[in-house]
Amino acid sequence: MGIYTVLPDGLSEVDVIIAGGGTTGCVVAARLATADPGLCILVVEGGSNNDMPTIAVPALCPANLVPSSTANIFYKTNKEKQLGDRELLVASGGVLGGGSSTNLMMYSRAQRSDFDSWNTPGWSADDMLPYLRKVCTSSVNGCKRLR
Ligand SMILES: Cc1cc2nc3c(=O)[nH]c(=O)nc-3n(C[C@H](O)[C@H](O)[C@H](O)COP(=O)(O)OP(=O)(O)OC[C@H]3O[C@@H](n4cnc5c(N)ncnc54)[C@H](O)[C@@H]3O)c2cc1C
């Protein structure tokens, strides 16, 4: 099945609906489809397809940060006393692929204390480390130095 802007004729029932075709949504859809190719999976993305030059050509990606861009959603924060009562714009992916369509393609691993502060069994820095290593085994040599 492909990309549709309206539900295709005859589609009245699916096995899984994923809300948001961003980074996580697409990964989850792909993993589910690989695990069970017989599943009918509907990914509902609020933004457009990501076939735009500012996404296909990495050098043009700063254009996605212009507030009129439709590639990102710009959330406005509350006024912050610590910022002189200013509101900030926080960009978030707003097309198919979400942030992975518009991000700057830099890899950085969070600090141990960030994971540990979740204080959630199974999600500590030690629990996460094997998966974080898996992410960077292919090409990022710098990862090998980190513990
Ligand atoms: C400009 C920018 C630069 C970044 N640079 C980097 C980087 O260099 N390195 C890095 O590691 N990370 C970077 N990030 C962060 C990274 O891309 C995100 O953390 C990651 O993509 C978030 O994934 P997610 O699945 O949580 O959300 P998203 O990928 O944002 O997915 C959410 C999806 O839901 C959709 N959606 C929202 N509301 C609705 C709705 N009501 N109905 C249907 N769909 C909806 C959105 O359009 C979006 O596609 C960057 C992010 C941005 C925005």
Q: Report how far apart, in Å, the C-alpha atoms of 64 and of each of 24, 58, 104 are.
A: 20, 10, 10
List the one residue out of 123, 145, 124 whose CA is nearest residue 133: 145
Q: What are the tens digits of pLDDT across the range 69-122?
A: 999 999 999 999 999 999 999 999 999 999 999 999 888 889 999 999 999 999
Q: What are the tens digits of pLDDT across the range 13-72?
A: 999 999 999 999 999 999 999 999 999 999 999 999 999 999 999 999 999 999 899 999
Q: How far is the CA of 38 from the centre of ligand 1 (A)?
A: 28
List the one residue out of 35, 18, 37 whose CA is nearest residue 98: 18
Task: Check: pTM over 0.75? Answer yes or no.
Answer: yes
Q: Please report the atom of ligand 1 found closest to the CA of residue 47.
A: 47
Q: How far is the CA of 46 from the centre of ligand 1 (A)?
A: 12
